[in-house]
Structure formats: structure tokens, C-alpha cells
Amino acid sequence: MKSVFKKALALFCAVCLLLTFAACGGNSDKTGNSGNDGYTADNTTFKIGMSGPLTGDSAVYGVAVKNAAQMAIDEINEAGGLDGVKFELLAYDDVHDATKVEANYAAMYEAGMQLSLGCVTSNPCLEFSAFSADDNVFFLTPSASNDDVPAEDNAYQMCFADGNQGKVAADFVNGLGLDKIGIFYKSDDSYSKGIYDQFKANINKDLDTVEASFTDANATDFTQQISTLKGCSFIFMPIYYDPAALFMMQAKDDVVANATYYGCDGFDGIESAKGFDINSIPQEVTMLSHFNSKATEGTAADFVKKYTEKFGKETLNQFGASAYDCVYALFNAMKAAKDAGEEIDVTISASDLCEILKEQFQGDFSYSGVTGNDITWDETGYVSKEAVKYVIKAASEK
């Protein structure tokens, strides 16, 4: 994962800025400060970085993460921060484009980032993971679910990994007692293919499965796939919500009227898909989730109330709920470490803080919040918590 060449490119802009700063008479020699890496030497807040799609087709995910993370930080700061030191969010737009992560990472790192939420979506986060491993920056991503995101020991997930989603989804389907199911997935997408592979590895081998797939090249007309799947009363769809909504609109009169569409976290926010009226779809729409946006009691209900009062319902989804939990989990881990005697100064380097947080997350630290109780992490960086089937829309007669 180490790449001197990529690291040099990633920090090119930062070097240029430092040279400019020196030319203006500033002190460009920020190395040699005990306990920091140069860029954190002047920090007056603990800085949390994130990169995500704040604009573009996937903005509903990135905006939810930014909003919820900021809401958690505001609450922590209002309560006094960590022994009086406040937190600050550094949020950058990557438009769900992995090629933009390099510049975003360099900007965050040079701005004094000490810990991070990584990236919102999987492909960009794979890039982020490589850069953060070079610098030993601890990150806990709320939603980048690719199995390889936590490949290094500085990386953790609050969301279920794709393989885990595939296994949990298979376990759920195995318990339904069905004779036949359909599977609709995107074969050239790491998110969709990763879930599909694990689902297939764990599904009951006696279950009749009918499969249909698509790629970027044929992502606008699903006539052939609908014809293949039209006889299925249960269709597993490990894809993002835009193609899922398109499939549902094109298939609503051909697929069994009371069929169940079952997706993973990529379904979250499907109600907001452009040009999509979910109530016009007769089939049941459900997803594997760790968050119930319609909760009426408990921590999830409290989060929903606070979020919607501040930001409205348009971007409310499990990505935001997970980001809210990420910030609080990081804060609680830092507090637990400090209570145990660790020195965590506001200018601590990202690498030094990473070593402290790794001890917490690999120790007996657990967290209870909006997306689960007694949440823990294993040595791979994968999260352990309960998943549930969430009904987005019940089946209805046409």
C-alpha cells in the first residue's frame, strides 16, 4: 500500500503552499516539533477530515455525512469538547470521483488533519486508504463498505463491509423458506460485485437463483434483465439507488406486483431519486440496514428529530446516522484513552493519535449509538453490530 510516488504527488500542492508562505516572511520550518508532524503544530482544535460527494448524483450521501458529522461536532463542542478543546470538521467534495481524492487528502493533511472519516463512497475511499496508510492517519468511515477499505491497520468501518452485507443478506434470505429468488447486480462495480460474491457464497445452494446483471454500457435500458427476472417474487438488488429506481420504474408492470425488492445500504435515499415516485411502484421495497429513519423512540428517534429540525428530511439516511456515530465513537475513544492516562494534546500528530486510537479499537472499547448498541471492531477493521430488514415502502395494489 505504500507508494512514495503517490505520496509525493499528493503533497505537491502542500509543498507549493509552504514555499509561498515562506516567501511572505512566515516560518516554513514546521518540522522537529515534538508530538506533531509539522502540519498539526499550530492546531487549536482537533481536526477531523472527510472527503465525499457534496455535489453530483451521489450528493445525498455526502451531504448527509457532512451534516450529521457537523451536528455531532457541534454537540461535542457545546458540551466542552475534550477537556476544553473543541473539534473541527474539514470537509471536501470528491463528487464520488476517486481521481479527486489525491488533492483532497493533501489539502486536509496540510490543514492539520489528525483523524478522519475517510471517504463516503467505496472507490474514492480505496484511494484515501492508501494515502492515509502512508501517513498513519486513523480513519473510521461511515459508509465506504468495500471489503478492502480497511486493508491497513489504521482503517475502520462503521458501516457493514460489502462481504458482511452479502453474508447477512444471504442469512436473511436463507431463513425465508423461499424456493426461488432473483438477483440483479452491477458486474463492473466493486460495491455491487463485492456484495454479490459473498451473497452467492453464503446462499442456500438448494435455492433456485435467477440472475441478471448490467454494466455502465447498458445502464439505461433494463428490458432484457426485466424479462429474465419477471417471474421472481423476491429480487435481491445489491446496487445503488439510481439504477434501482430506474429498474423499478421500467419493471413495475412486468415483475410480480407483490414482489419484494431487497437491497443493501445503496438503497438508502431511494425516495429522493430524480424523477422517481416510489409510491407508483406496486412492489415492496426493502433494504438491509442498521438504522431506522422512522424510529419513534430511542437514540435513532432522537437523531431523526434533531437532524430533520436542522436539515430537513431530504438528506436523512443511514449514511448520516453512521457519520454521527463515527464522530461520537472517535470522541469517546479519545476520551477513554485520555482517562486511562494517554497524553492527547491539541497539536498531537496524526500518527501518534492513530497509535492511541488503534489500542482503543483493538482493545475493550465499545460504542452504543444511533446505528447499534455495544458496537465493536475486530482486527480487520470490520464492524460488529446487528443488521435488520427495513421496509422503505410496503407492497400495494396497482
Long-range contacts formed by 81-86: CB under 8 A, 24+ apart? 81/46, 82/46, 82/331, 82/334, 82/335, 82/338, 82/344, 83/338, 85/45, 85/46, 85/346, 86/45, 86/46
Between the alpha carbon of residue 217 and those of residues 189, 222, 251, the distances in Å are 12, 11, 19
The verdict on 372 and 311 lying in the same domain is yes
Does 393 fall in a domain?
Answer: no
Does 284 fall in a domain?
Answer: yes
Confidence (pLDDT) at 37 = 65
The domain total for the chain is 2
The verdict on 190 and 126 lying in the same domain is no
d(CA 147, CA 381): 10
Does 90 fall in a domain?
Answer: yes
The verdict on 128 and 151 lying in the same domain is yes
pLDDT digits (tens, 9 = 90+) for 145-188: 899 999 999 999 999 988 888 998 999 999 999 999 999 999 99
Residues 6 or more apart whose CB falls under 8 angstroms from that of 155 comprise 118, 129, 132, 133, 139, 141, 149, 381
| Nine-digit cell string for 126 | 480505496
Q: What is the mean pLDDT of residues 284-291?
A: 91
pLDDT digits (tens, 9 = 90+) for 261-283: 999 988 988 988 889 999 999 99
* 208 against 398, higher pLDDT: 208
Of 289, 324, 345, which closes a domain?
289
pTM of the model: 0.76
Number of Cβ within 10 Å of residue 333's Cβ equals 23
Of 270, 289, 308, which closes a domain?
289
Of 269, 289, 309, which closes a domain?
289
The verdict on 87 and 204 lying in the same domain is no
Angle CA(206)–CA(210)–CA(211) in degrees, nearest 5? 125
User: How do beta strands 180-186 and 155-157 pair?
Assistant: unpaired
| Nine-digit cell string for 123 | 472507490
d(CA 69, CA 117): 9
pLDDT greater than 70 at residue 12: no
The verdict on 145 and 172 lying in the same domain is no
CB environment 228-253: b (16+ within 10 A), e (fewer): bbbebbbbbbbbbbbbbbbbbbbbee
Does 245 fall in a domain?
Answer: yes
pLDDT greater than 80 at residue 343: yes
The verdict on 180 and 284 lying in the same domain is yes
Does 32 fall in a domain?
Answer: no
Q: How many residues does the chain have?
A: 398
Is the separation of the CB atoms in 140 and 148 below 8 Å?
no
Does 22 fall in a domain?
Answer: no
The verdict on 149 and 244 lying in the same domain is no
pLDDT greater than 70 at residue 20: no
The verdict on 206 and 258 lying in the same domain is yes
Return mean pLDDT, the chain. 90
The CA-to-CA distance between both ends of the chain, in Å, stands at 53
Amino acid at the residue 110: E
CB environment 82-105: b (16+ within 10 A), e (fewer): beebbbbbbbbbbbbebebbbbbb
The verdict on 149 and 167 lying in the same domain is no
The boundaries of the domain holding residue 247 are 163-289
The verdict on 131 and 240 lying in the same domain is no
CATH number at residue 226: 3.40.50.2300
| Nine-digit cell string for 13 | 500542492
The verdict on 91 and 62 lying in the same domain is yes
In this predicted structure, which of 80-94, 295-309, 322-336 has the lowest mean pLDDT?
295-309
d(CA 388, CA 168): 9
d(CA 162, CA 182): 19
Does 295 fall in a domain?
Answer: no
pLDDT greater than 50 at residue 8: no
SS3 222: coil
Does 5 fall in a domain?
Answer: no
The verdict on 155 and 177 lying in the same domain is no
d(CA 201, CA 196): 9
pLDDT greater than 60 at residue 6: no
* 276 against 17, higher pLDDT: 276
Confidence (pLDDT) at 162 = 84
- Alpha-helical (H) ranges within 148-292 are 162-174, 190-202, 223-229, 241-251
* 17 against 235, higher pLDDT: 235
* 190 against 36, higher pLDDT: 190
